[in-house]
Structure 1
Amino acid sequence: MPVRCLSRHRYQFVVYPGIGTKFASLDDAYNFYNLYSWEIGFGVRYAKCRLNVHRQKCMQEIACGCAGKPVKENTKTIRCGCPALIRLLRSEDRGWYICEHRESHNHPLSNTCGEKMHWQSHRHIDQYTKELVKQLQENNVSLGKVYSIIGSFFGSSDQIPFTKRSLRTLCGKISQEQSDNDAMKTMDVDDDSMMKTLMWTSGRSMDQYICFGDILTFDTTYRTNLYDMPFGLFVGVNNHFQSIIMGGMLMRDEKVESFKWVFAEFMRLIGGKDRHPKTILTDQVRSMELAIAEILPNTKHRWCKWHVLKKAKESLGALYGKRSEFRSDFHRVVDMMCSEEEFETSWAEMVAKHGLQKQPYLTQIYEGRAKWAKPYFRDVFCCPMHLFVKQYEKLQFDRASEESYQEKRTSLSGVVLRANLPIERHASKVYTRAMFDQFGLALFDSGNYMLEELEQRRLYVVRHMHHEVRDRWCKSVYSVQVDLRNERLNCECCFSQHAGMPCCHQLKVPAYLVMKRWTRDARDMLPPHLKMYQRDQARPRAVTYRHSNLSLTALEIVKMADSNVDAYELAMSEMVKVRAKLEP
């Protein structure tokens, strides 16, 4: 009723809460006063109320957002005791009417639209937009993309009737609601209903697995102090070279059947039942190896090099001291990416030099070298996960906050170029900072090689310029082939397949390989129906009122049609008819 009478009122404002104005409900009165506050330049909130003898509300004040006094001095609050308000009383017909209106304010009023939108009462987001935001959040769409998608419904981003800050607040609330219920867990019990194994993961881990589930490490060397049960963690690595938790488990024993249940349940919980990791790194447990071979047949299973080095320290004692010559020789052989022939030659020279041909531990790990030495699985993607397992032992800081810092560092901080080459400047724009540091080392190392073209744009050879100062077993010549069909380079060192980044030999060729999982857009993977909003896709631009109006109407129809089966069938049949008429 108040809105219908706007054309007949005598006030200078489009909306004015005059004394005696009637409303059907408190919500109508709040919305009406909020419209008035928008026009004037302030925000509103519910204030004092009074109940009658029947414990029903009979008086309600709606005050300026600056009403009330601050709780303490020297604070950032906007409350300054503003007297502006309207007082509503209950009418006989169960409605409400204004009995008092105070117009004066004791603070500056907002003049621009941008200022007004930051008042709490003017950050309203309608229900349909909230549901759209919730769906986008569930599909792991970033805040910036959510704002852009909503902007396409309203014509453009500058026409969205709320701020990005309010959208961020809404996304935070949605994330909190989801986090309260997204923890997924399952357990295996024995015949006496006693717990044998407990497994858990979270919604965030499921989202992380989509982007970074290509390589995992699973470690059960930790044990809880209270129950002395093996505690296992599935850990991955993100595009900032940081360890990320995919899931955890507690188990009573380390038998084959227990590990089979662990891996099968992890794949089910994480949503990767048909999307197994490419590589999984574990410690040397035979029962785990058998379980992986049966449950994850398409996954390459290797031993984590960190566990090999850890046991070397335990088994070799003083021989493996910090300043020992053997330690430096051992690490050079273990860490260098070389061929199988180079590895075996360098290993033989090392054990002969130090007289360790019959050392039991070295003999044992050499026999199992195909499981942990890089030359024997050069073509298997396997970034240096041993670094992250070692980091994970410390658990000294919150991984989520550190990841946020790396995101900020990647997006805002500058980079130091080593050679100021075009290829280096391009890499600084696409790689994360941590990955760019690794790229810089490879680019610097590429300066040691000379390039020779054997077949035009197809086959190249790179030669090390200082091969005489290298170890005799180190290879100095590498061939690089250009795969024109798949648009990639193949080097015989296989470092790019192993680590996911171009090797120093490929960087000599006038093209190079960028793996998306190490780039800033590693998480830019949207469902098929949202692919158009990816950064590598052309984004549709909606600048017409027709687009915005059609989008909002369609959302309203979806909301109503989803209420029951009859409404759904009616809406679908009518939309099929409309689509048939609109098709050219």
Structure 2
Amino acid sequence: MVFRPFTGKDNHGGPIAFGAGFVSSENCDAFSWPFTLFVECMGVAPRIIITDQDWGMRLAIEKVLSGTRHRLCMWHIMSKLFEKIPKSISDREKFSKEFKACVWSELLDPDEFDILWTGIVEKYGVKDHKWFKDMCAVRHMWIPAYFRDVPMGSLMRTTSFSESENNFFKRYSKPLFNFADFTLQHNNGIDAQRNQTERLDYYDSVISPKYATDLAFEKQLTSVYTDRMFRVVQELIYEADKSCRMISIHLFFVLRNKDVNNILEKYVGNRWLKSELLKAVHGLTSDESASGKGSNEDDKL
């Protein structure tokens, strides 16, 4: 039996198990089946899904999730970089630094990326190297420049995140477990994960973060975002308050100079909010969940 977990991030940026299932390793549709299961359980196909470079999964996603953007995990690809760099390159560290700066940049558009990539591979003589040619051919599936229109929500390294999730659940399983033992212990892991999320929810309800600036919209966002994610945004706000050199923080620079006190809801988004996870997962509004509405058996996943 092949175990197929689906992993994502909760509103604290921590791991969350969306669901999982078993399929016979002899099933000829072993790749497509988990994605069909995911849609049936979640009620909606994901906007974007990130996997490693498995050809079977790529075909299954095209078949089952035709409206979903498929992206290859950058961490999985870049973890192979050093072993792929030809030994003929004397300064491998310098090449690695330049190459990583190119592929990880979220500031380039596709044309700019192509120019920079071409310059680097020609400079170091790897233009015709098979691995670099193959990666260039599928650059539209893993380079940030080709996903500028998709809110990634810090998912650029999802495969490494998934590996971390797998290591977590390994603490609750052993190779010789039978099906019942494995299921029981996996559920214990799920409970531990949910307890951690509840602790963070409580922490968010009582903590008062320290402000890095005197900007009104920084104070606004402390009441909107979870503490872990607010700290990420706060760093950008602080940099914007001191400088405008970084394009990625240019929005906050403009808001500061325009004396904006409150950021409109449409610009805040709903990915990292303090109280929206229940609604996002179960399809219930906060009022419905509090009053018990939508709790009929037909509404349960």
Structure 1 and Structure 2 fold alike (TM over 0.5): yes
Question: In the aligned structure 1, how far is the partner of 2:124 from the partner of 2:10?
Answer: 40
* Cα distance between partner residues in 2 of 1:304 and 1:248: 20
**2:226–2:273 Cα contact (<8 Å) kept:** yes
1:315/1:392 Cα in 2 relative to 1: closer, same or farther (>3 Å)?
Answer: farther
What SS does the corresponding residue of 1:240 show, helix, strand or coil? coil
| 1:328 alignment partner, one of 82, 87, 97 | 97
- Change in CA separation of 1:251 and 1:313 when aligned onto 2, cut-off 3 Å: farther
Aligned equivalent of 1:434:
228
- For 1:264, the equivalent position in structure 2 comes to 36
> What is the match of residue 514 of structure 1?
268
Letter in 2 for 1:505: H
Please report how far the alpha carbon of residue 514 of structure 1 lies from its aligned counterpart in structure 2 after TM superposition. Answer: 0.8
Once superposed, what is the RMSD of the aligned Cα atoms? Answer: 3.3
- After superposition, what is the alpha-carbon deviation per residue over 1:373-408, rounded to whole angstroms, capped at 9, x for unaligned? 111121123223315234325328853343233223
**1:246 maps onto 2:41 in alignment:** no
The yes-or-no answer on 1:355 pairing with 2:129 is: no
| Residue 285 of structure 1: how far off its partner (Å) | 1.9
Q: Which residue of 2 aligns with 1:222?
A: none
Specify the alignment match of 1:448 in structure 2.
243
Distance 1:331 1:404, change over 3 A: farther
Which residue does the alignment assign to 2:78? 309
**Aligned residue in 2 for 1:391:** 164
Partner residue, 1:418:
212
Q: Distance in 1 between matches of 2:48 and 2:26?
A: 21
Q: Which has the higher contact order (CA 8 A, sep 6+)?
A: 2
In 1, distance between residues paired with 2:236 and 2:111? 23
The alignment partner of 2:85 has SS state of helix
Match of 1:525 among 279, 287, 298: 279
**Following the alignment from structure 1 to structure 2, what is the Cα–Cα distance between the partners of residues 255 and 332?**
42
Percent identity of the aligned residues? 25
Change (3 A) 1:407 1:529: closer
Higher share in helix: 2
Aligned to 2:250: 505
Instruction: Give 1:403's aligned residue.
Output: 197
Q: Aligned ranges for residues 147-186 of structure 1 at < 5 Å?
A: none
The residue type equivalent to 2:164 in the other structure is Q
Deviation at 1:518, TM superposition (A): 0.7
Q: Which residue of 2 aligns with 1:31?
A: none
Please say if 1:237 is aligned against 2:9: yes
Change in CA separation of 1:357 and 1:399 when aligned onto 2, cut-off 3 Å: same
Answer whether contact 1:351 1:357 (CA < 8 A) is retained.
yes
Task: Pick the structure with more strand per residue.
Answer: 1
Q: Is there any run of 5+ residues in structure 1 with no aligned partner, and where?
A: 1-196, 199-230, 450-463, 466-475, 477-502, 540-584
8 Å contact 1:302–1:371 — kept in the other structure? yes
- Are the structure 2 counterparts of residues 375 and 299 from structure 1 closer, same or farther at C-alpha, using a change threshold of 3 Å? same
Contact 1:279 1:381 in 2 (8 A): no
Deviations 1:203-259 (A, max 9, x none): xxxxxxxxxxxxxxxxxxxxxxxxxxxx43210111111111122345555987221
Compute the TM-score of the two structures, normalised by the length of structure 2.
Answer: 0.71
Q: Which residue of 2 aligns with 1:281?
A: 50
Instruction: Give the number of the structure whose alpha-carbon radius of gyration is greater.
Output: 1
AA of the residue aligned to 2:15: S
The 1-side partners of 2:121 and 2:149 are apart by 27
Q: Alpha-carbon deviation of 1:369?
A: 0.2
